[in-house]
Each structure stands twice: as C-alpha cells, then as structure tokens.
Structure 1
Amino acid sequence: MNQYYSFHTLMSSSSFWDSVNILITKPNVINKRLWGCKLIFKCYCKPINPNWKLPLKCSLFDCDRTDSDSYKMDLLKELGVVLCTDFGIKACKNLSILLLELLPKSYTSHRAYQVICINKYEESVTFYNVTPVEVNQNICPEFTFILQLKNNYIILKSICDSASKSYQWLLNSVLPQFVKWGEKSSNDSKRQHICTESLALVPEDEYYKKYNTLKLKYGKEMVKIWPECTDPSKFVYEDVAIATYILLLWENIQNAHSNKPTFVDLGCGNGLLVYILTSEGYYGVGIDVRKRQIWDMYTNNIKLEERTIVPSDSNLFPNTNWIIGNHSDELTPWIPVIAARSSYKCNFFLLPCCAYNFDGSKYQRQNSSKSQYSEYLEYIKKLSENCGFKVNMDRLKIPSTKRICLIGKERTYPLEDYDNYCGLIQKIINQEDILPPTSDKNANIWLKDFKPRQQTERVKNCTQIDKSIVQFVINCITAYLLKDADLSNSWCPGKLVDINELVSILPPDKLKHMKSECGGLQTLLKNNHHIFKVQNGKVQLRYPKTIDDVKHAIKPNKSKQANIKIHQKPCWFYNNHPQGCPLTDNNCSFLHSNINKDSK
C-alpha cells in the first residue's frame, strides 16, 4: 500500500540537494548497518516523452552481470529515459540515474543494490531496491521510497506497510536527520570546511576489502591478548584502519616504483601499526620515548626502539621513504620538518591529535571563529607547504573525532634546490617563536629548548600528593561542612556546599600543590569518595556504606561476592566524625576499632 507523510521545513532547494547528496554518498551516517557504498555507474538522462512518469519498481540487478553497460541501457529503457549526451545543455543535469552497491558493516552480511533517480524537475529523489531476492539482504528498505521538497514541505512517499520496521526507520530516523542536514547546510553555507571527503586518496572498494581482511587477520586475536590499560576495541581497530589506508597508498606508489617503501613511525606508542605494516612485508622501525607492555609480545622481526627523539641533525632518516606520525603529540609539527630534511625523496603521513608548538608547549588558538583542531590542521598544512611539500588531506574512517590526515609525497621544487630549502626550513623554525637561533656549539640542534615527553610517565591524578597535605585538606573541609551543624539528634552529614566555596577556605599553596598533580581539589575529593559525596559540583559528607551496599554495587561479571573485601580498612567516620559511625560494628563495611581484624 502507498504511504504519504509530509513534514514542514524552511529548507531551501540547494540545502535539500545537499541533504540528498549526504544520503546517497554517505548512507552509513544514518544507516548503522552500512560501512559505506560504491558507485557502479551514474548517467545523465532526459525523458523520452513530455508525459513521462517514473515507474514504481525496477528490475532486479544481476550480481553476476559483469557488463553493467547492458544493464544500464535496459534500466534506462524501463525507466522511460534515454542518455543525454549533450552536456552543454543545462537541462541534461536535471535528471540523473545512479546504481549503488551498499556495503554492509559486517563483512559476512550480504550486499544490497539501489537504483536512485535524481529528478530536479520535481525536486525529488527516488530509491529503488534492485537487490536479487535470493541475496536476502537486510541493510536497506526492500521497497521503493521517494523524498520530495514541495511548498516548504518534505514529503516521504513509499510503497509498503506502515507498520514495517523499515518504514518506521525512514519516518522516525531518516526524515528528521534529512531535515537537520538541510537546515545545518543553510546555516553553514558560508563556512569553509578544511576536509569533507572520506578516503578520497584511496579506492574505497579496495579499502573495504583490505580493512576487513586485516581486521580478521590481526584484529580479533590482538583484542584477546591486549595487555594495555587502553580500550582494545577502539585502539586495535583504529590502527588496523590506519594501516589499511597506508598500505593502499604504498601499493599505488609501488606500482610506479619497483622497491617497497620503508618507514619510521615516530611516537609509535603500542607499536601495533609497526607490527601490521611489517607483517604485511614492509620494513620499518617504531620509536617511542616509553616502552609498552605489548612490545614483548611481538615477534623478533618487529623493530621497536625506546628512545627520545629531539629534532636535530642526528635524528634524520636519509634511507627512509616515509616518516609516520600517528597521534605523535609534541613531535607533530616536526614530522614534515624531519621528512623534508631527511632526504629529497622522504615523504610523510601525519595524523594530528593533540595540538603542540615546535618547542613542545600546547598550541593556542589564534582565531576564535574556528575550532582549535581545524585551525591547527591549517597551521600544520601551511607549515608542510613551507617545507616544500605538495600536501594532500583526507578523512580516515576510524573511531576517533581526530581523523583528518596530511600526506606529503611530492616536492614543489626540483632536486637541485634541496639544500636551499633545508636552510629555509631552519629559518621557519627560528621565526616560529619564542627562541633565538641555536649557537654554533649546538648547530645540529634545531630548537635549543625543545621539551620532549618524560621517559617515565608521570601519575597525575592527585594520588602522589604528600599524605599530610591530603589529611590537612580533609580535616579543613570536614570542619567546614560540620560547622554550626546540629549534632544532638540523628547522625549529621553536614551541609551541602559548592566546591568553589571550599576552594576559598583552603590556603593557596595547598591548592597549587593539588593543581600541579592534575585535577585539583575535585580529584582529591573523588579519590576519597568513602568520605565525601561529590555530585553536580556540590560536596557533602557521605553516609557510610553498609556491607549490603558494597555487595550490591559489585557487578557479577567483574568479581565474585566471596572475594569482596570488607572490614579491611579503618572506618574514617568511626574515628573522625563527632558522632562516630552511624552503623553498627558488624554492619559497616569498614573496620571499627573494637573489631579484631585477624578474626575476619
């Protein structure tokens, strides 16, 4: 049966077509079952006769049909249109037919095929499902549906049962998001985006195949054995995706040059990217200021070095083809510089995350109309161009908000100007700041006061503060919370106050000491959550937890109740609160002084 739904909107015609473009080129944004899509063909057409109307259905696509041209001609005939070959006529751009292959996020799921008719005469777009019945796909609606802009209304037409899940998804998810895209497009029309396309520099279909191959080859097993404290479901698959992208870049280069590229990964972290690239037949080394636990789990052919990189003549790589900076932090602005000065043929791949200056300090935004991230990308791009690189930017498909990479693989100047450019780069470094040019004594050091990351990672969660300072702060805050409290009746947790109010009662030197350990007062209070309750910026003494409270809070899949530790630590309230602990000796989860700990 036919379904009809209209939604009022202030979208313009151009913003409507912006939304259509997103829905066609990036269907995975709204359809979480999709990884993306592949365009099989697109052609501009014109109606055969003036009374032309689109049919309600299309013939199914033959997945084994390698000659898509013959299918295209049959399809156009069925739709009642013919190819428009005169592209000088504007009218030829008003009607186009596309065939898309929809790629599922799950590699083992079946693919689907859609024919899409873009009709600018009527400001409508029609989606036909042409997936063969035997394929049994479940990643897109099986019925025809139409989106149209008419008289300030977005109209959804479809040929289906209104109770079907696909129709409800179109109505409740696709349509509101479609309108949101269009309205956002209208508001952002004057904004310039630094990089909007994803995987623009590699073939998407090849990326899809290789990513899933590497995911099965390395991903699942690595997630199982991951020894780091970081989330393997994010970090493992992110590095698999980055490795996929780099490998495809290199394969295209290798087609033109017989030798395989070599690489150095600066700030390699867990070394997983080095592991995958090496396992795929490329020689390289990863360097990081700190060794990770997982390094010992790799085979001996994986080259990883624990050392500090200080930008200088002694840290160049003249025999390396590629310098990689994958979330390389304070080395980020140095990656194009090191690549440029290593050799004329050295390239770089850079995926910036945290923004740093040349000297290792945090980058400060200059233009408040831009985000720090977009401004920093522009800064790194300009810096790379000043180093003589032709710079490309691309958006990766990784589980991260910082996913725009920069690639420098060609120079803007001939080989004979190489020495001149190396001198120019040093001038750029000196002008960036901050610091005078280095003396003759340290001529090989490019920036004298560069501050590399410490080899030993500093714990910055207020757990390393002197215990006397912690005790002083706890006593001050407790006294303030209980000041003027009625202690004659029931047990009193004291008053509820803003954390900013507590800041005002503490000595500045104590606050400074806590701040230097990252997090400040709030972190210290949360570290002592058995005493204080911190919620929505307010602080109060916590009511002590009973044994039942502790048991109830334990997740069954995390620990067995038999291993719950109770009566192990002294009860702070029993020993410090004016009214003592409100719980009995046997009911409190902490140790009261008259309980024999050894008997427990």
Structure 2
Amino acid sequence: MGFVSKLVNATASPSLCDAMASITEAQFWQAIGILIRNYHALNKRIFEVVITQVEKQKDGRLCESSEEELVKTLQDRPSKRTCSGFKIGFKLLPKKLPENILGTGTIDFAKCLYECQFASDKLEDFSARLQEGQLLLESEQNSNWLQYVVKHKLLNWSQSKQDEKKDRSMRLVSLEQYNDLYKELKRKHSQHLIDLWKTAQESTDPLKFIYEDLAIAAYLICVWRSTTPDAFADLGCGNGLLVHVLNAEGFKGYGYDVRKRKLWSLYPADTQQCLFEKTVEPNNFRLDFPEINWLIGNHSDELSAWIPVIAGRLNLSYFLLPCCPYELSGAKFRRRNTKISAYQDFCKYIKLVSEKCGFPLVIQDRLKIPSTKRLGLIGIKRRPTIPIEDLEYFVQEELRKYRTGESEVKLREKEERVRNCTQVDKSIIDALVLKIFNQLLAANEDKWSGRLPMREIAQSLTKEELSGIKSECGGIKTLLRNKHEVFEFCGGDLIGIRTPKPMDQRLRARVTTKKRSCFFKQHHPLGCPLEDAVCSFIH
C-alpha cells in the first residue's frame, strides 16, 4: 500500500492483550469478516456499511463473487479455499456528511493480510496482518485510533462466537435510502421540533424523543414505499410527534391517546385536527375514518399486546415497537420463557398473539434508534384463514388465565397518577432518609461513606416505615434515587453515601442550585467537605 508504517504494539490495553496475546489464523479471518460488515463499530460518525461488489482472486485474475461466498470462505479451513484472496468494494454511510464514502478492502490469504483504503481524506487507511500469532496494525498516522479502537475490536471479534444468522438491524429497508431520508428529516424538522419542546416546557429530553421518532418515521416511510397505506392510526400516540412528522411527509394519519399533551396545541392546525383525546378501550374501540388500513403502536405500553388483536378484528396491517411488557388484562407481563430475556419473551408472545389473530407471518426487524427496546414487529394484512370467532376465543382465554381480579380490562387511566414518591408526606421521607443514612454511616470504618446491600436496608425498616411508600413505583429504590445528592448506587445491589463534589462553575446560574440546605452540613458527623462557595446547597 506504500504506507509510511507506524506499527502498533500490544501495550495499550495490557489486561486485554495479555489474555489474547496470540490468535489463530481462523480467529484472525473471523475478526476480519466481522470488520468488513461492521466498520461503523470503529467510527461513530458512520451509520452503516453497504457492500457494493465482491471479486475473488483466482489464478492471478479477478472474477465476480458474492458476499455469501466471501463469508463462507473466511470461515473455511485453508485447505478448502478455492481462491487466493478477495477484493471488496463498499460504501460507508455517514451520519452527517452529505456524501457517502467509498472504500476498498483487499484480502490476501497467503500473507494473512487485510488492507483497507478509503476514497476520502476524512478516514484513515490501514492494514491488519497476522504474524506468528500476533495481530499487527499499520497506518500512516493516527496510531492511537488503531491501538485503542481497532485492535481492541479485532481481538474481541476474534474470540466471539460466529452467528451468521444473528438478527441484523434494518433488514427490511435499503440502508442507503433510510440513511439519506433520516438525514433529510433531521434537516427539515429537528430544530423546529426542539423549539416546540422549549415552548411547551416539556420535561423529557428533546434530543432523545425527537431523533427517535424521526428515525421511526424514516423507517416506516421506507417500508411503506412498497405498500403505501391509505391512512394510519397511531394508538397511544403520546405527544403526537410521529403523527405530525408522517403527516408533514405526505402520509395521512391520526393519533389517539387517553390524554392530550401540551405539544398538541403547538402543532400546525392540520396536525391538531388529526390528534384525538380518546380512550382506546380494546373491546369496543372503533376507528373514526374508514380509509385507515395501518395501525401503529409506538412504545404503546399497555396497548402493545392489543395492537395485533385490534388489527385482526378490523382486518388491518400493523407496525408495533413494543416497550414495557403488559398482559392483555393490563397487568404486568408474566414470563412464559425464562431462558430468554423478558423483552424477547414479550416479543415472542406478541408473535403468538398475532398468529392467533390471523397473521400467518410476523416480520421482526431491529431498528437503529436511541432506545434499548428497538425490535419492530410488522403484521401484514391478516388472511381470513382464522375465523374471527377463534380470535375472540383466544383473547377471552388469555384474559381468563391472566386476569388480575378486575372485572374489566384495565389499561391506562385518563388522569395519570404520580407515583414517584413525591406525593408521600415529607416527614415520612425525611425520617426514612435519615435512618438509612445513619445505617450506612454505622456500616463503614472511615467515618465517611459505608455501603450496604439494598436487601439489607429494606429488611431493617419496619412495616410501618415502609407502608407510606409501598404503593409507589419502585418503593424504597425510587426513594433512594430521588435523594441522589445523598445516596449513590454502587453497582450490583450496593447502596452507599455519595461524596459531595464541587459545583460546576457553569451551573451557578441554574435555579436548581443553592435552593436547599446542605444535608451533609446538617447531618454528617464530619460536616460537608466542601466550602460554601462551591457546594450546590446552602451551608
């Protein structure tokens, strides 16, 4: 490649490199195979990689090949290989740059060498080689990136279990079309929506919610390019942001929620007319517009399990992004399979519900959104192979088996009850906080901060002391989180006393500082370790 070489040695991360000081040829090519399809894991400015061309080197010449053959050859033993190497053309999709970046990867099996070059000076060319069991990386510059990022990833990938059938993100849409559209939606809508957030004085993080719903909108638009809806209905639409963006992009739709949100009155008039404050009662809910042929459940909580039921009853298609798992009764979801995560278990249950409601195939795709709950489920219009009577029988059996004692299905109430310990009498809260604080003090030796397991703290409190908060979400855990200036979660089940830190000078003007008395000044035997001028609280 003509590099001015800077050889990167394995001294940057001793613990990792000591544990993986030597790798085999099979492990090296496994890591390279993962790298080729996951360059975005090395660079946060890149959204995704698209392989555009694969050629194999055979008998001194290049001939057409495929990504499938490339993957298989990288996994084969050397004796089974039918070529001496590959040349791979790929395209990097940047998150912000307007133009995509072309790249070329070259595999040389004889030299155990992979070389990567980019048609842009914004990214660094590099090579990776296996020599006597050691992973060697070379580049013209930026050795720290190779040392701390590339090498770390390659060594981890060399030890990972191969799973080519693993559920990959965004399988149903063109990654390039999606990325271009997402960037366009951000350009058109993000600043205006952030301004609306400020006007409404929303307490939620605008960057998280706005960019997440823009990403969901971009995904749906890409899916709908092959099956355009006449109109959609977003059940449990919340702040109505997804409805607003999709309407603005030419997709007619409506949003229903049990409570009107502050943002609704700030949207344009045509969006406001499409948002309805209406309880979605699953057993008698009817849509107001006959043209609706798609349902959306975007983090719809208690309604999630009902989305395929309602879609089945009304003969509609649906898109569901499940979040908090609930039974059809509105009770918390009861695990069916403890061998997988609760979220995976719930998604599997949704597929079962969909099958019973007449959807023979439910497509699952993993979205790229700023949320840990990002598995999307799509049920295309049900087939009349299952009579509606069978659907209703299944629903009633589920309600009978998992009913919580209520005579009716109990979903979200119109007036949301505040359940974060803020409604508990202050004297009860203060007494509990002081008792737990003194308990932690007694458990330490250095007279400043002790640690105790949450279980031990809870067991030390009487029923009377806990009775005031036992109906609150999270109970004692929520209480401790709300008092974050006093307590800290130390990992696992351990709770400790937080050591006060000086106030950031940039935060002096914030109204949250200097409004309350310093807890440590009042209650810690050593007082507050901070001077009054740098403490966030009043001394």
Q: Does 1:397 align with 2:347?
A: no
Q: Does 1:263 align with 2:232?
A: yes
1:426, distance to aligned residue in structure 2 (A): 1.3
Of 50, 68, 73, 1:38 maps to 50
Q: Counterparts of 1:210-225 in structure 2 under 5 Å?
A: 210-225=181-196
CA 1:295/1:495 → structure 2, altered by over 3 Å: closer, same or farther? closer
Q: Does 1:424 align with 2:390?
A: yes
| Letter of the 2:135 counterpart | I
Q: 1:171 and 1:502 mapped to 2: Cα distance?
A: 44
1:175, distance to aligned residue in structure 2 (A): 1.6
Q: Counterparts of 1:358-437 in structure 2 under 5 Å?
A: 358-389=328-359, 390-411=361-382, 413=383, 415=384, 417=385, 420-435=386-401
| Letter of the 1:141 counterpart | E
| Letter of the 1:396 counterpart | L
1:25, distance to aligned residue in structure 2 (A): 1.8
Q: 1:432 and 1:98 mapped to 2: Cα distance?
A: 52
CA 1:380/1:533 → structure 2, altered by over 3 Å: closer, same or farther? closer
Q: 1:239 and 1:315 mapped to 2: Cα distance?
A: 26
Report SS of the residue matched to 1:432: helix
Q: Counterparts of 1:222-371 in structure 2 under 5 Å?
A: 222-226=193-197, 227-254=201-228, 260-302=229-271, 303-315=274-286, 319-343=291-315, 346-371=316-341
Q: Is the 8 A contact 2:22 2:134 kept in 1?
A: no
Aligned match of 1:155: 135
CA 1:533/1:101 → structure 2, altered by over 3 Å: closer, same or farther? closer
Q: Counterparts of 1:40-55 in structure 2 under 5 Å?
A: 40-48=52-60
Q: Is the 8 A contact 1:119 1:125 kept in 2?
A: yes
| Letter of the 2:310 counterpart | I
Q: Counterparts of 1:152-191 in structure 2 under 5 Å?
A: 153-158=133-138, 160-161=139-140, 164-165=141-142, 167-185=143-161
Report SS of the residue matched to 2:227: helix
Cα shift readout 1:528-552 (whole Å, capped 9, x = no counterpart):
688x666755677x99x9xxx9xx6
Q: Does 1:29 align with 2:14?
A: no
1:95, distance to aligned residue in structure 2 (A): 3.7
Q: Is the 8 A contact 1:242 1:398 kept in 2?
A: yes
Aligned match of 2:121: 137
CA 1:368/1:505 → structure 2, altered by over 3 Å: closer, same or farther? closer
Q: Counterparts of 1:15-94 in structure 2 under 5 Å?
A: 16-48=28-60, 80-83=61-64, 91-92=81-82
Report SS of the residue matched to 1:355: coil
Cα shift readout 1:112-150 (whole Å, capped 9, x = no counterpart):
321123445665433233x1xxxx531x213x51344x6
| Letter of the 1:81 counterpart | L
Cα shift readout 1:209-265 (whole Å, capped 9, x = no counterpart):
1111111000122123313211111110110010001111112224xxxxx531000
Q: 1:337 and 1:82 mapped to 2: Cα distance?
A: 52
Q: 1:230 and 1:578 mapped to 2: Cα distance?
A: 34
Gaps of 5+ in 2: 11-19, 74-79
CA 1:6/1:375 → structure 2, altered by over 3 Å: closer, same or farther? farther
Q: 2:278 and 2:185 mapped to 1: Cα distance?
A: 29
Q: Is the 8 A contact 1:44 1:97 kept in 2?
A: yes
Over the matched positions of the two proteins, sequence identity in percent amounts to: 33
1:433, distance to aligned residue in structure 2 (A): 4.7
CA 1:476/1:273 → structure 2, altered by over 3 Å: closer, same or farther? closer
CA 1:501/1:34 → structure 2, altered by over 3 Å: closer, same or farther? closer
Q: Is the 8 A contact 1:238 1:398 kept in 2?
A: yes
1:477, distance to aligned residue in structure 2 (A): 6.6
| Letter of the 1:291 counterpart | K
Q: 2:506 and 2:381 mapped to 1: Cα distance?
A: 57
Q: 1:332 and 1:381 mapped to 2: Cα distance?
A: 11
1:45, distance to aligned residue in structure 2 (A): 4.0
Aligned match of 2:105: 116
CA 1:526/1:371 → structure 2, altered by over 3 Å: closer, same or farther? closer
CA 1:454/1:578 → structure 2, altered by over 3 Å: closer, same or farther? same
Q: 1:14 and 1:28 mapped to 2: Cα distance?
A: 23
Q: Is the 8 A contact 2:8 2:137 kept in 1?
A: yes
CA 1:11/1:430 → structure 2, altered by over 3 Å: closer, same or farther? farther
Report SS of the residue matched to 2:256: strand
Q: Is the 8 A contact 1:4 1:155 kept in 2?
A: no
Aligned match of 1:559: 509
Q: 1:119 and 1:294 mapped to 2: Cα distance?
A: 57
| Letter of the 2:101 counterpart | A
Q: 2:537 and 2:321 mapped to 1: Cα distance?
A: 49
Aligned match of 1:489: none
CA 1:316/1:229 → structure 2, altered by over 3 Å: closer, same or farther? same
Q: 1:261 and 1:235 mapped to 2: Cα distance?
A: 26
Q: Counterparts of 1:415-564 in structure 2 under 5 Å?
A: 415=384, 417=385, 420-435=386-401, 449-467=408-426, 469-470=428-429, 473=432, 498=452, 503-504=458-459, 506-521=461-476, 523-524=478-479, 536=490, 537=494, 553=503, 555-557=505-507, 559=509
Aligned match of 2:90: 100
Gaps of 5+ in 1: 49-79, 255-259, 438-446, 484-492, 593-600
Q: 2:28 and 2:279 mapped to 1: Cα distance?
A: 53
Q: Is the 8 A contact 2:196 2:266 kept in 1?
A: no
Q: 2:451 and 2:227 mapped to 1: Cα distance?
A: 63
Q: Is the 8 A contact 2:298 2:322 kept in 1?
A: yes
| Letter of the 2:313 counterpart | R
| Letter of the 2:215 counterpart | A
Cα shift readout 1:87-109 (whole Å, capped 9, x = no counterpart):
9x97556643221122222234x
Report SS of the residue matched to 2:250: coil
1:436, distance to aligned residue in structure 2 (A): 9.4
1:475, distance to aligned residue in structure 2 (A): 7.8
Output the TM-score relative to the length of structure 2: 0.78
Q: 1:394 and 1:481 mapped to 2: Cα distance?
A: 46
Q: Is the 8 A contact 1:250 1:261 kept in 2?
A: no
Q: Is the 8 A contact 2:40 2:46 kept in 1?
A: yes
Aligned match of 1:126: 115
Of 175, 178, 181, 1:207 maps to 178
CA 1:100/1:517 → structure 2, altered by over 3 Å: closer, same or farther? same
| Letter of the 1:429 counterpart | V
Q: 1:570 and 1:29 mapped to 2: Cα distance?
A: 44
Q: 1:26 and 1:496 mapped to 2: Cα distance?
A: 44
Q: 1:32 and 1:589 mapped to 2: Cα distance?
A: 35
Larger radius of gyration: 1
Q: 2:22 and 2:433 mapped to 1: Cα distance?
A: 57
CA 1:448/1:281 → structure 2, altered by over 3 Å: closer, same or farther? farther
